[in-house]
Amino acid sequence: MKHTLLSLFLFFLSELPAWAQKPANRFTVSGYVREKGSQEALIGVNIYLPGTSTGTVTNTYGFYSLTLPEQDSVTLAFSFVGYESAQQTVAFRRNLDLNIQLTPGRLLSEVTVTGNRTGEEKVSESARMSTIDVPINQIKKIPAFLGEKDVLKVLQLMPGVQKGSEGSTGIYVRG
List domains and CATH numbers for the chain: 24-102 (2.60.40.1120), 130-161 (no CATH)
**End-to-end Cα, the chain, rounded Å:** 90
pLDDT for 2: 63
Residues whose CB is less than 8 angstroms from the CB of residue 55 and which lie 6 or more positions away in sequence, other chains included: 46, 47, 48, 49, 66
pLDDT for 57: 95
pLDDT tens over the chain, length 175 residues: 666 765 666 666 566 555 445 456 888 999 999 999 899 999 999 999 998 889 999 999 999 999 888 888 889 999 998 899 999 998 877 888 999 999 998 777 888 998 876 666 665 666 666 677 777 887 777 777 777 777 777 777 777 787 777 777 677 777 6
**DSSP-based three-state secondary structure for 151:** helix
pLDDT for 16: 52
DSSP state of 116: -
For the chain, strand residue ranges (E) read 26-35, 46-48, 55-57, 63-69, 73-79, 86-91, 96-97, 100-102, 161-163, 171-173
Is the torsion defined by CA of 164, 165, 169, 170 positive or negative?
negative
Measured between alpha carbons, how far is 43 from 65 in angstroms, rounded to an integer? Answer: 14
Residues whose CB is less than 8 angstroms from the CB of residue 147 and which lie 6 or more positions away in sequence, other chains included: none
pLDDT for 47: 94
pLDDT for 10: 60
Identity of residue 61: Y
Measured between alpha carbons, how far is 123 from 94 in angstroms, rounded to an integer? Answer: 70
Measured between alpha carbons, how far is 96 from 74 in angstroms, rounded to an integer? Answer: 11
